[in-house]
Amino acid sequence: MTSEAGGTQARFTEAQAYEAYRRMVRIRKFDETGSRLFKQGRIPGAYHASIGHEAAIVGACMALRNDDGMTGTHRSHGHPIGKGADLKGLMAELMGKATGVCKGRGGSMHLADSSVGIIGESAIVGGGIPLATGAAMSALVRETSQVALCFFGDGAVNEGTFHESLNMAALWKLPAIYVCENNGYAVTTSIGASHGQPQISLRALGYGMPGVAVDGQDVTSVYAVVAAAVERAREGGGPTLVEARTYRFDEHSTGLVTGGPPYRSKEEVADWKANRDPVALYRQRLLDEGRPEDRLAAIEAEAAEAVAEAVRFAEESPLPDPADLYDAMFANPIAYPSRRLGQNA
């Protein structure tokens, strides 16, 4: 049950191959620019870049329809971009602007764009796993053909939500796809220091669902595995656990300084960047398969311009109006007492 998910291997069409590259490049350039803006103090809060995860994200997202549900994590800049979101509202959200996709209420760790099917990006580790499972249950009850895909990290599989959700998903054959972006470290704690049994895909056996480990730096492999899982889920075959083995190129959060002995070596990081960069690997593959370089260069230029435009849009956008502080608290606005009490204090 822990090998390939069976069936014919799904492959990108020619258009999808370019689209996958486009989305990967957009994630990379968005987060390279965002990290720089963060260091310059132009983005407040904390910044968790998706750099290094692009193939795992885009390979999975390319297997979904626009109306399929999706949840992400604190490291979720890549997820909406991978699902096709516009960059302007995302960058404005990172800057806390009124035009942000969450109107400046969510920020970096909650960068959810429902227009592409994202139902939430949970910064509580493992918090999105039951939500995606519930979205899958909802699809079953409403008798749609939707599936729900849940991204989470290697740390989240040690949360109770993972255990409880995967059990119920298998029990009820829910159309859920659990994609673990295993980057080897939960903040600074390695798999070896936190997992009694280090192969995450094997956990699926305990729940009675297929578990598949895949090279998370290879977008076509991730796509093939997730597409097979999506097909199974749509046909009533139930959930799949996919372990995409990837690597976080930057610190856990941008600018984070960890005291004490390093939790990963400089050589390890350098080796991944030099030899396992998912964007570079896919670019080379597209070239090797005979696609013209100028086409790829055009995609890269277009992504750079889209990011630049998003930054311009975000910086020119207004900050949220203090009078709107309570907006989006409730469906039906309520003059609840704390509002008056707060003013009296």
Candidate list 5, 64, 116, 135; residue touching other proteins; CB under 8 A: 135
Is residue 52 involved in binding other proteins (CB under 8 A)? no
- Closer CB to other proteins, residue 235 or residue 268? 235
- Closer CB to other proteins, residue 152 or residue 185? 152
From 158-166, 237-245, 248-256, 308-316, give the range in contact with other proteins by CB under 8 A: 158-166
Is residue 132 involved in binding other proteins (CB under 8 A)? yes
242, β-bridge pairs = 179, 212
With 0-12 / 13-18 / 19 or more C-beta atoms within 10 angstroms meaning exposed / middle / buried, residue 275 is: exposed
Q: List the helix and strand counts (H, then E) for the chain.
A: 12, 8
Positions in 3-32 near other proteins (CB under 8 A): none
Is residue 96 involved in binding other proteins (CB under 8 A)? no
| Rounded (5°) CA angle 314-301-217 | 95
| Rounded (5°) CA angle 49-54-59 | 145
Task: Return all residues near 316 (Cβ < 8 A) that are at least 6 apart.
Answer: none
- Closer CB to other proteins, residue 112 or residue 222? 112
Total of residues contacting other proteins (CB under 8 A): 53
Is residue 114 involved in binding other proteins (CB under 8 A)? yes
- How far is 81 from 22, CA to CA, in rounded Å? 10
Candidate list 34, 52, 59, 69; residue touching other proteins; CB under 8 A: 69
CB of 101 to other proteins, least distance (A): 7
Candidate list 43, 58, 85, 101; residue touching other proteins; CB under 8 A: 101
Candidate list 127, 210, 216, 238; residue touching other proteins; CB under 8 A: 127
Is residue 342 involved in binding other proteins (CB under 8 A)? no
- How far is 115 from 19, CA to CA, in rounded Å? 19
Is residue 158 involved in binding other proteins (CB under 8 A)? no
Is residue 329 involved in binding other proteins (CB under 8 A)? yes
Is residue 155 involved in binding other proteins (CB under 8 A)? no
- Closer CB to other proteins, residue 198 or residue 333? 333
Residue with tokens 């035009």: 99
Q: What is the helix (H) or strand (E) element at residue 153, kind and residue range?
A: strand 148-153
| DSSP 3-state percent helix, strand, coil across the chain (nearest 5) | 45, 10, 40
Is residue 305 involved in binding other proteins (CB under 8 A)? no
Q: What is the helix (H) or strand (E) element at residue 312, kind and residue range?
A: helix 293-316
CB of 285 to other proteins, least distance (A): 36
- How far is 87 from 100, CA to CA, in rounded Å? 10
- How far is 111 from 66, CA to CA, in rounded Å? 17
Residues that bind other proteins (CB under 8 A): 69, 71, 100-106, 110, 112-114, 119-120, 122, 124, 127, 129-142, 148, 160-161, 163-165, 167-168, 171, 327-332, 334, 336-337, 340-341, 344
